[in-house]
Structure formats: structure tokens, C-alpha cells
A and B are shown apart, each in its own frame.
Chain A
């Protein structure tokens, strides 16, 4: 897959490859040290943040969380009974 910005696509692919290896070979096997891809993630995310600003994506809206929040509990209250 491509990144939202062409400038970040190579960084994304490099990070994704590292992450997928870490997820299968470390995380799912109970090793919770996530330093393996940390540098790649940092560089990639800086690129994406810049691209989001350039494309006028509402960063505040993206940062808002729903999982395990009061809002989620209200929204899904009736279907989680």
C-alpha cells in the first residue's frame, strides 16, 4: 500500500516490513520489547504528520480516541447487552 504522501511511501514500507516481523516473531510470542522498529517508526511518523498538515487533515479529529472511552460505551451500549 502507498502512504498518504508519496514522500513517505518508502519509509512506510520499510517500517511495515519491520513491524510485521516484530508482530509475528516477537509480540505474539510474548516478547513485549518494541525497540526493534522504534527508529523506523519515528522517522516514518514525522513524514506522515507533515503530510497530514499539508493535506489539511484535521489532526485533532484523528487524535480523538473511541476505543474504551465513555463515548464508545454510549454508542454501543444497546448492541453490547
Chain B
């Protein structure tokens, strides 16, 4: 049982502003659960890409029924990122550390200049939620998906708040017009993919 999540957001800021704001995302009014933030690795590639890895710790709110699987009050998160100023692309990859057999949430976000809306930035967020607990994986994935979806809106709102504070000349509003959310069952995807060999997402647009 695996669940996918996809969401596209348009930020009312240039890519340079979003890339600078990325390092200031915490704290914000929606991030009270984020307790610590550390840069554990950082390097420049010969082609001028900045690669960073940050370790975040967050409080872990879980429902009563899930307490039998996870006892930790805190969860550590690893965030990898690549900033490529030449192509104006920031790619981030976030995953939880530990308890990955109970529930693993892996998120990828690509921030890039919007071709349609010059001066604005697209954030294309995809996430993969998985659980390997026998008999409970469906319930755990469903819970993880719902929590992730709810948190996405908070993450976007929090980031937008930070950007508005840093670059107050822009209206502090996220253009939500193009926000789409998609959920699909991975097994179904895989079988459809095998049968059709047609890009699945193309059918949905």
C-alpha cells in the first residue's frame, strides 16, 4: 500500500526570492512543531550547483492507535537540496529518519521559474507515503496521506508568510489558482503503466 500526492503551487515571488527565502522558512507561524534545524553537509559542485543537507527535528503528533508502533515524541527529518542558479531550479528532497518501516514519507519539491507567469515561481510537490506494517499499512498510509495533505497547506502558508516578510513589496498572497492535488494507488498505477505504457498523468490533465 503506497500513496502518492502531488500539488503545484504558484508563489508570487521571483525564483531568486524563493531560493533566498527557502533558508529562512523556519520559524514561521505554522512551524511551531519544527524545533531544530542544522546544516550537516554543504558543498559546491564544479558546475556551480549548491548541494546542502539539513537535519530538522519536529514534534511527532500521532493518533492514539498508532502509539503501539511509534513511541517517539520527536522525529528527525533529513532535507537534501540542490540549488542551480543557472537553470533557476531548486530541488528539495525530504524524508523521515527512523521508523521508516512503520511509515516513510518522502517528499520532493521542485521550485522553478513559471513560464506562464513571469516573475512568479512554481513549486511542484510530490510525495510518496509507504508503510510496511502487516495488517495496518493501509490505515497508516491513509493517516499519513491525510496528515501530509493538511500539512502541505500549512507549509505553503508558512513559506508565503516568510517571503512576504522578506520581500514586502509583493502582496502576501499565494496564487492558489493552479493548485491541484492528486492521489492514486501505486499498485493500480503500476499495473496501468505496465498495460498502457502511456504517461498516467497525461490522462488526468
Seen from chain A, the residues whose Cβ lies within 8 Å of a Cβ on chain B are 1-4, 8, 12, 15-16, 19-20, 23-24, 27-28, 30, 32, 34, 41, 44-45, 48-49, 52, 57-58, 61-63, 65-68, 72, 75-76, 78-81
Contact = CB atoms under 8 A, between A and B. Distances in A.
B53 interface: yes
Interface residues of B, number: 49
B10 to A, nearest CB: 19
Question: DSSP class of B's interface residues: helix, strand, loop or mixed?
Answer: strand
B55 A57 contact: yes
Contact of B36 (A2, A27, A72): A2
Contacts, number: 108
Interface in B150-203: 186, 189-190, 193, 199-202
Interface of B: 4, 6, 16, 19-20, 23-24, 26-27, 34-42, 44, 48, 50-51, 53, 55, 57, 76, 78, 80-83, 85, 91, 93, 95, 97-98, 106, 108, 126, 128, 186, 189-190, 193, 199-202
Question: DSSP class of A's interface residues: helix, strand, loop or mixed?
Answer: helix
